[in-house]
Structure 1
Amino acid sequence: MNEPRPPDLAPLKTNDAATILAGTGLWAVALIVLLIVQPGPDRQWWIWTCVAGIGLGLFGVWHVRRRDRREGLEGHEGPESRTTPPGDGDGTGEPPRRQHEDSGGPARLSGHRDQP
Structure 2
Amino acid sequence: MEPLDVDGVRTVLVGTALFGVAFVALLPFYGSLADHGRAWWLWTALAGFGLGLFGLEYCRRRVRVRAAREFDTSDGDASDAP
TM over 0.5: yes
Structure 1 residue runs of 5 or longer lacking an equivalent are 1-8, 78-116
Q: Which has the larger radius of gyration?
A: 1
1:74 offset after TM fit, Å?
8.3
Q: Equivalents in 2 of 1:10, 1:27: separation in Å?
A: 33
Does residue 1:43 correspond to 2:38, yes or no? yes
User: Identity of aligned pairs, percent?
Assistant: 41
Unaligned residue ranges in structure 2 (runs of 5+): 74-82
The answer for the alignment partner of 1:32 in structure 2 is 24
Q: How far, CA to CA, are the matches of 1:75 and 1:15 in structure 2?
A: 14
**Number of residue-to-residue matches in the alignment:** 69
- The answer to whether structure 1 residue 53 and structure 2 residue 53 are counterparts is no
1-structure distance, mates of 2:11, 2:55: 10
Per the TM alignment, residue 56 of structure 1 is displaced from its structure 2 partner at its CA by 1.1
Higher relative contact order, chain-length normalized (CA < 8 Å, sep 6+): 2
Per the normalisation by structure 1, the TM-score is 0.52
TM-score calculated relative to the size of structure 2: 0.71
